[in-house]
Amino acid sequence: MAFQSWRELLREVIAAPGEKERLAGELGLNAMTLTRWVMGETVPRPLNLQRLRRYLPQEYRLQFEQLVRAEYAEPIFSTEDAPAVESGVELFRSVLEARTTSADLARSWTISLRVLQHAIRQLDPEREGIAIVVVRCMPPASDGLIHSLRETEGQGTPPWESNLSHKAQFLGAESLAGHVVSTMRPEAVNLVSAPDVVPALPTEHEVSAMAAPIVFANRVAGCVLVSSTQPNYFISQAKFTQVTDYALLLSLAFEPGEFYPPERINLRVLPTPSIQRPVLDQFQQRVVTRMQESSAAERPLSRAQAELAVWQQLEAEVMASMFVLESTGRNTKEGALDEQR
Amino acid sequence: MSSDNTYILGHTATEMVRLTEQDRLITMGMDGLLPELPDLAGIKRVLDVACGPGGWALDLAQKYQHLQVLGIDVDGGMIDYATAQAKAGGLDNATFRVMNALEPLDFPDNTFDLVNARFLAGFVPQNRWSQVIMELRRILRPGGIIRWTEQEWTGTSSSFEQAEAYTFQAMRRAGQLLAADERNVGITPLMRRFLSDAGFRNVREVAHALDFSAGTGVQRAYAQDLWMATVLLQPFHLALGVATQQELDDLQQRVQEESLADDFYAVWFLLTDLGTKP
């Protein structure tokens, strides 16, 4: 149903039994206040308009936001608001401090997590559902080329899990991340109607997505991959810019030797997540075994060294399984979607 | 680190990130931000003492937007971090100020409806507990609630036990250990008494067990938290002379191996005491 104003929309919503009381309770306001807004007797503060949007039934939120934007000259919704710039200065400062002061063992983790912690609040202030993952290039194979990417640190808001790091998997040419790393250009897609020119295989809960490459001196180390439960979530210039800014900052989490010139990126199409999972589930125990063996041999590997060795081992196994899958035709986009259904 | 800062893990960017991650794990493990207080009627002004990078206060402000949440911490870096996070999330009901919980607090009497404090044992010297709790009572309004959480943990990893032993020895030397021996911090059995002695009424205790053993789905996240803690505790251990650099490096390696293994079992016990100001 099309409404002429957000007041008209709100009138419709609170006409449903119990909705006025529910909304008033969520907002911590008297129910009569909502009636006054609808009648135009009083004007809500911008913060209350933000909150009201958050507690409206899902199907009304986008139209409500559009109607409010049409009425107010000043930005109301926080994702495009000025404080983002202000908090960005502190973020830049703290990332640079982490780069300067963190111990070698902790530097990459500290910078990645600092950026993700900021991004999760800024990109999803209404807790509608977002997942943000840092994706790294695997080291070059014996032919000197990079054939896959792997997910590393990740965070989410419901319906995704809070910590996504243990769900890491390989990504290849079939993925949005693979496309963005190969082209070294940021890209946003609506996955329910993704154009064929951008490869993208929607994962569970994912309706729209964006990826931005992590670049230094025209070489690429990976990308930041952001998924949303909402359609067209990255269509606004403000969000697109925010994600690309996070990718710029994440470049400080990588060592110079982890960036590769574009001609060495030669990604393969990889098996779907469900096919990779049984192999990846062995990751943690293999890392422990590798560390224990190295300690016993009195040549101890750090956890990062052991993890990288195991990732390379698993990459080879996943690649090998791909040859089998290609011959049986089991690794298709349609097949992956069928698995999710 | 400021000279007023007695926090044993110090101030680093890594510690701010670690504590923020730990907040998320604890909230998830405790089934919410205020699981013992399902009814927030009458609560509007909330203080979070020693808030660190502000994770709990920010999530509370996010979830209950009618609350005014203020976090205080002795560390200006933590406060800058928390303030930036509040701005990033557009939370104008969450604010943060630099303040030392070991000193008189810059608030009038009867200011807050709820005072939350977690893991004070990391910085309160053993002879200052009564003063700290009395000050928290002063700034609560009559009928206001204190919510105070401390922790102990146990597990099958010998390297964690060794890391803890170093920490307790160092805390003893720094005058921050209450227990008679050096096998635990010793704060949890005393919490009820501290609250009662400070004049709180209706004191009750709620315990949570956060299992992060192999197979729980959170093992890796906790392992990261504990590993980073052992890295960050190194300066404290070295400064108090409880271990050499080589011993600490070897320990770090073993912590990583053991905490990720599939025969690793550990539980983190959190005790929350709640009391009402008459």
What does the alpha-carbon distance between residue B193 and residue B200 come to, in Å, rounded to a whole number?
Answer: 10
Rounded average pLDDT over B259-277 = 94
pLDDT at site B8: 63
Superfamily of A83-264 according to CATH:
GAF domain (3.30.450.40)
Which chain B residues are within 8 Å of A78, Cβ to Cβ? Answer: 89-90
pLDDT digits (tens, 9 = 90+) for B206-246: 999 999 999 898 898 898 888 888 888 888 899 888 899 99
Residue B175 lies in a domain: no
Model confidence at B1: pLDDT above 80:
no
The CATH number that applies at residue B38 is: 3.40.50.150
pLDDT at site A199: 65
What phi, psi does A28 have (nearest 5°)? 70, 35
pLDDT at site A332: 52
What phi, psi does B75 have (nearest 5°)? -95, 115
Model confidence at B88: pLDDT above 90:
no
Higher pLDDT, B141 or A49: B141
What does the alpha-carbon distance between residue B210 and residue B268 come to, in Å, rounded to a whole number?
Answer: 5
Q: Say how many Å lie between the first and final Cα of chain A, rounded.
A: 30
Residue B237 lies in a domain: no
pLDDT digits (tens, 9 = 90+) for B27-56: 999 999 999 998 898 999 999 999 999 999
pLDDT at site B112: 97
Nearest-Å Rg of the Cα atoms of chain B is 18
Dmax over CA atoms of chain A, in Å, equals 79
- CB contact under 8 Å between B87 and A285, yes or no, is no
pLDDT at site B7: 65
Q: Which residues contact A136 (CB under 8 A, 6 or more apart)?
A: A149, A150, A152, A221, A222, A254, A258
Please give the ipTM for the structure prediction. 0.83
Percent of chain B with pLDDT over 70: 93
Could you count the other beta carbons within 10 Å of the beta carbon of residue B62? Answer: 20
Residues 72..91 of A with a Cβ closer than 8 Å to B: which? 78-79, 81, 83-84, 86-87, 90-91
- CB contact under 8 Å between A109 and B228, yes or no, is yes
Q: Domain tally for chain B?
A: 1
Say which range, A77-86, B138-147, B244-253, has the weakest mean pLDDT. A77-86
Q: Which two tokens stand for residue A167?
A: 């769900």
pLDDT confidence tier of residue B6, bands split at 50, 70 and 90: low
Residue B96 lies in a domain: yes
Which chain A residues are within 8 Å of B86, Cβ to Cβ? Answer: 87
pLDDT at site A69: 81
Question: What range does the domain containing B73 cover?
Answer: 13-155+184-213+266-276
pLDDT at site A341: 39
Residue B176 lies in a domain: no
Could you state, in order of their start, the residue ranges of all structural domains in chain A? 6-76, 83-264, 273-340
Q: How much is the mean pLDDT over chain B?
A: 90
Residue B65 lies in a domain: yes
pLDDT at site A105: 82
> Looking at the partner chain, which of A110, A162, A295 has a beta carbon nearest the beta carbon of B257?
A295
pLDDT at site A319: 87
Write out the DSSP string of A71-128. Answer: H-SS--SGGGSTHHHHHHHHHHHHHHHHHHHS-HHHHHHHHHHHHHHHHHHHH-TT--
What phi, psi does A132 have (nearest 5°)? -130, 130
Residue B205 lies in a domain: yes
pLDDT digits (tens, 9 = 90+) for A119-178: 999 898 878 899 999 999 999 999 999 999 999 999 999 999 988 888 889 999 999 999
> Looking at the partner chain, which of B17, B217, B231 has a beta carbon nearest the beta carbon of A114?
B17
Rounded average pLDDT over B59-70 = 91
pLDDT at site A83: 42
pLDDT at site B12: 80
Q: Does A27 touch chain B (CB under 8 A)?
A: yes
Q: How far is A261 from chain B (nearest CA, A)?
A: 30
pLDDT at site A246: 96
Q: Which two tokens stand for residue B268?
A: 């983190």
Cα separations in angstroms, A8 against A24, A34, A193, A249: 17, 12, 31, 43
Q: Does domain A6-76 have CATH number 1.10.150?
A: no
Q: Which two tokens stand for residue A97?
A: 């401090």
Nearest-Å Rg of the Cα atoms of chain A is 23
Residues 281..320 of A with a Cβ closer than 8 Å to B: which? 284-285, 287-288, 291-292, 295, 300, 302-303
What does the alpha-carbon distance between residue A247 and residue A224 come to, in Å, rounded to a whole number?
Answer: 6
Q: How far is B63 from chain A (nearest CA, A)?
A: 9
Q: Which two tokens stand for residue B32?
A: 């919410």
Q: Please choose, from the candidates B223, B201, B224, B203, the residue with its C-alpha nearest in 3D space to the C-alpha of residue B212.
A: B223
Residue B250 lies in a domain: no
Consecutive 10-residue runs of chain A (341 residues): their mean pLDDT? 89 91 77 86 76 83 85 55 56 90 88 95 86 97 95 94 88 94 93 63 84 96 94 83 95 96 95 87 89 85 88 91 67 49 39
Q: Are A138 and A149 in contact (CB under 8 A)?
A: yes
Residue B3 lies in a domain: no
pTM metric for this prediction = 0.80
